[in-house]
Chain A
Amino acid sequence: MAVFVYAENINGIYKKAAFEAVSYAKAIATKTGDSVTAISINPTDSSDLLYKYGADKVINVKDAGLKNFSSKAYAQAVNEVFDGNVIVFPHTTDASSVAPMLAIQKNYSLITNAIDVPESTSPFQVKRRAFSGKGFMHAKADAAGVIVTVSQNAYGVKENAASGSEEVKELSIANEDTKVINHEQSSGKLDLKEAEVVVSAGRGMKGPENWGMIEDLANVLGAATACSKPVSDIGWRPHTEHVGQTGKAISPNLYVAVGISGAIQHLAGVNSSKTIVVINNDAEAPFFKSADYGVVGDAFQIIPALTEKIKALKGA
């Protein structure tokens, strides 16, 4: 039997999270001796991109009615083509909106925010993120089938080429409950949850006018930018950049925190970052206790200098 995976695309283009979900599904299939079937709705990208990470089969759902996203209609579409016991979703906003609806439709267990391959596949048991990153839970599925969402950047994207085949499925799902009025996509900005490097700053930056140097450092690192809660609360940066317990939880390879003291609520959202660098002029800032590397000093001098040095390294 196949392990299924929902390969999310945005405007037809596969997201990194889709490749990660396929990689994860492949890891399960390798354990269970099964194949991997990916489901995607109206992709324009080539299925070859999914074969590369281990998809043996790609079902491309074609449905003009699903041009715009609707959790309910998308869940119904996935339900019509998914006929296995396991399906993997990325834990993105859209996919993790579809997964709970599908769980009810299929009467399956739903385990969200998985951070590792399952400890057991029968019964399905996996380690997942809980307490906003302040702890972990080993969750066991009780139903015959399981839907699992994979926390972004937790497992990683792993190439595992398969010689896949494609099937096109024409559906016609009624999608009348919601209607898109306006769609704003900021171009050229890295998605914070997908980013492998994140540069984040707090009140220590003294004002929004000083964010240019944070953006310069982020640009040279190919990083997304983020901020602490007080900074988004006072409107220096948009809410979408707030990382922490009540903002976004992220797991980049490198998290650079500038002028952030490291309150427990902030740490909760970032402590699964693989490497943490803290730059703060207060040597007593609690964040240093949770950092791998630290620099005590004036961010206004350190950040431009660090940007130049990294630029030199990258240019070398």
Chain B
Amino acid sequence: MKILVCISSVPDTTSKINFTADKSAFDKNGIQWVINPLDEFALTKAIKLQESQGATVTVVNVGDAGTEAVIRKALAIGANDAIRVNTEAKDSFSVAKEIARVAQDGAYELVLMGKESIDYNGGAVPGMVAQLLNFPFVNAAVGFDVNGSEATAVREIEGGKETISVKLPAVVAGQKGLVDEKDLIIPNMRGIMSARTKALQVVEPSNTEVKVEAVSFDSVAPRAAVKLVSADNLDELVRLLHEEAKVI
């Protein structure tokens, strides 16, 4: 089975988010880049399928040369090879178009990724890729297994979960729970060394059309200073929540 895992290069989760002085763009100064954590769940799941079913795992990223360190990490984790579509990710639609083209050209039977990236939080790429490929789509997967030409996915629903069978080829977008946090693979020295020799193919983009533009960005407004209430005076806390904040 051929699996395509889509990864996004995002600011490390501990990053403070700043914008340029004119607020027109995200300020990349001093930012460490990591594999989008939700994509990492998908990648680990793919590596497990590689181990258990002999699947091959190709990683795809839409990004400029600056994302290659993150792609190499995915190779060190265990992906067989990688493809970078050589263009800056601009919006969900243009990214989805590039991924769908790669998926189609490579005749992948399973496209796995995180349900959203932790930077722009669009949550749109997986569904768009599925529609462009005319594949079934399972979102918010917290469990997944392949059995021949069919797969079983557990997806989170509001207030519960649902187990569904899905015909392959399919697009599955995962989240925390798809694999356990403790099962995430930390690259070892052998993985890092072998990643250097694995193929990282660079392909040129086919489409630069965007449908959504980022006009400007705002930071989060700071809250007023905290009002501390003594642990011996919880009546005061209740009063503040009832009378001042009016939330109880």
A interface list, Cβ under 8 A from B:
10, 15, 69-72, 75, 91-94, 96-101, 103-105, 108-113, 125, 127, 129-143, 176-186, 189, 191, 193-194, 197, 221, 232-233, 239-240, 242, 245-247, 249, 253-254, 263-265, 268, 271, 274-278, 288-298, 301-302, 305-306, 309-310, 313-314
State the Cβ distance, A71 to closest chain B Cβ, in Å.
Answer: 5
B108 at the interface (CB under 8 A from A): no
Instruction: Verify B121–A97 contact, CB threshold 8 A.
Output: no
Given A177-B136, A289-B226 in contact, is the A306-B92 Cβ separation under 8 Å?
Answer: no
Looking at B66-74, B187-195, B233-241, the stretch in contact with chain A turns out to be B233-241
Instruction: Verify B223–A294 contact, CB threshold 8 A.
Output: no
Instruction: Verify A136–B218 contact, CB threshold 8 A.
Output: yes
State the Cβ distance, B166 to closest chain A Cβ, in Å.
Answer: 5
Instruction: Verify A105–B131 contact, CB threshold 8 A.
Output: yes
Which residues of chain A come closer than 8 Å to B155, judged between CB atoms? Answer: 93
Which residues of chain A come closer than 8 Å to B127, judged between CB atoms? Answer: 71, 97-101, 104
Cβ-neighbour of A140 out of B19, B162, B215, B235 (below 8 A) = B215
Which residues of chain A come closer than 8 Å to B132, judged between CB atoms? Answer: 104
Given A264-B16, A293-B240 in contact, is the A71-B139 Cβ separation under 8 Å?
Answer: yes
Which residues of chain B come closer than 8 Å to A181, judged between CB atoms? Answer: 152, 163-165
Instruction: Verify B121–A103 contact, CB threshold 8 A.
Output: no
**What number of A-B contacts does a CB cutoff of 8 Å give?**
272
Instruction: Verify B220–A271 contact, CB threshold 8 A.
Output: yes
Instruction: Verify A112–B137 contact, CB threshold 8 A.
Output: no
B190-246 interface with A by 8 A CB criterion: 210-220, 223-224, 226-231, 234-235, 237-238, 240-242, 245
Bound complex: CA of A84 vs CA of B62, how far in Å?
32
Cβ-neighbour of A100 out of B92, B157, B158, B247 (below 8 A) = B92
B28 at the interface (CB under 8 A from A): no
Instruction: Verify A233–B215 contact, CB threshold 8 A.
Output: no
Instruction: Verify B121–A246 contact, CB threshold 8 A.
Output: no
Instruction: Verify A296–B237 contact, CB threshold 8 A.
Output: no
Cβ-neighbour of B213 out of A142, A180, A182, A197 (below 8 A) = A142
Bound complex: CA of A140 vs CA of B237, how far in Å?
42
Given A105-B131, A184-B160, A264-B13 in contact, is the A97-B137 Cβ separation under 8 Å?
Answer: yes
State the Cβ distance, B104 to closest chain A Cβ, in Å.
Answer: 14
- How many residues of B are counted as interface, with CB atoms below 8 angstroms from the partner's CB atoms? 82
Q: Is the interface of A mostly helix, strand, loop or mixed?
A: mixed
Instruction: Verify B128–A100 contact, CB threshold 8 A.
Output: yes
Q: Which has the most chain A C-beta neighbours within 10 Å: B136, B156, B248?
A: B248
User: Could you jot down 25 A-B contacts, CB within 8 Å?
Assistant: A70-B136, A72-B131, A93-B139, A93-B156, A96-B123, A98-B127, A101-B130, A103-B124, A110-B124, A113-B121, A130-B120, A136-B217, A178-B167, A179-B164, A185-B160, A193-B158, A249-B121, A275-B245, A277-B241, A288-B228, A290-B223, A295-B230, A306-B234, A309-B238, A314-B248
Instruction: Verify B13–A104 contact, CB threshold 8 A.
Output: no
State the Cβ distance, B161 to closest chain A Cβ, in Å.
Answer: 5
Bound complex: CA of A139 vs CA of B132, how far in Å?
23
Bound complex: CA of A295 vs CA of B237, how far in Å?
8
Instruction: Verify B162–A182 contact, CB threshold 8 A.
Output: yes
Cβ-neighbour of A253 out of B15, B122, B247 (below 8 A) = B247
State the Cβ distance, A62 to closest chain B Cβ, in Å.
Answer: 22
Given A142-B210, A178-B164 in contact, is the A292-B223 Cβ separation under 8 Å?
Answer: yes
Bound complex: CA of A143 vs CA of B192, how far in Å?
43
B52 at the interface (CB under 8 A from A): no
Bound complex: CA of A254 vs CA of B170, how far in Å?
40
Looking at B1-9, B53-61, B174-182, the stretch in contact with chain A turns out to be B174-182
Question: Closest 7 CB pairs between A and B?
Answer: A100-B127, A297-B231, A177-B136, A104-B131, A97-B139, A254-B247, A134-B17
Given A246-B38, A254-B245, A293-B227 in contact, is the A309-B235 Cβ separation under 8 Å?
Answer: yes
B111 at the interface (CB under 8 A from A): no
Bound complex: CA of A195 vs CA of B90, how far in Å?
33
Bound complex: CA of A177 vs CA of B171, how far in Å?
11
Given A184-B161, A292-B223 in contact, is the A141-B212 Cβ separation under 8 Å?
Answer: yes
Cβ-neighbour of B228 out of A113, A182, A296 (below 8 A) = A296
Bound complex: CA of A122 vs CA of B207, how far in Å?
25
Q: A246-B38, A264-B14 are in contact. List 15 more A-B contacts (CB 8 A).
A: A72-B131, A97-B127, A103-B124, A103-B131, A135-B17, A138-B215, A138-B218, A180-B164, A246-B176, A254-B248, A263-B14, A277-B237, A293-B240, A296-B231, A297-B231
B134 (CB) vs chain A CBs: closest residue = A72
Which residues of chain A come closer than 8 Å to B121, judged between CB atoms? Answer: 112-113, 129-132, 249
Instruction: Verify A178–B17 contact, CB threshold 8 A.
Output: no
Query: Chain B, 77-101, contact with A by CB distance < 8 Å: what is the 0/1 string?
Result: 0000000000000001100100000
B64 at the interface (CB under 8 A from A): no
Instruction: Verify A275–B241 contact, CB threshold 8 A.
Output: yes
Which residues of chain A come closer than 8 Å to B123, judged between CB atoms? Answer: 91, 96, 100, 112-113
Q: Which has the most chain B C-beta neighbours within 10 Å: A104, A125, A264?
A: A104
